[in-house]
């Protein structure tokens, strides 16, 4: 089963070092949206436009990103 990593990115990047397995990319995208929505509540409004959850596959390629700004 593919493993996806959910990094937090703004002016810095916090790496997800363990990742989570999902059978489909769509499941990983859904998980990223949940994480982003939870984090959006804690990020100041003026910083939301710079913050993302970046989904990376096991080959270290970015496959999806969710902007926190779209979830407020």
pLDDT at 52: 92
pLDDT at 41: 83
23: how many CB neighbours lie within 10 A of its CB?
Answer: 9
pLDDT at 72: 52
Q: What is the mean pLDDT of each run of 10 residues along the chain (72 residues)?
A: 96 94 96 91 72 95 88 56
pLDDT at 71: 59
**Alpha-carbon gap, residue 15 to 7, rounded angstroms:** 5
């Amino acid at each position: 089963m593919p493993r996806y990593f959910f990094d937090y990115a703004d002016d810095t990047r916090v790496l997800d070092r363990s990742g989570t397995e999902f059978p489909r990319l769509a499941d990983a995208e859904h998980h990223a949206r949940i994480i982003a929505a939870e984090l959006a509540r804690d990020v100041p409004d003026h910083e939301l436009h710079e913050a993302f959850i970046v989904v990376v596959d096991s080959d270290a390629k970015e496959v999806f990103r969710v902007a926190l700004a779209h979830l407020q």
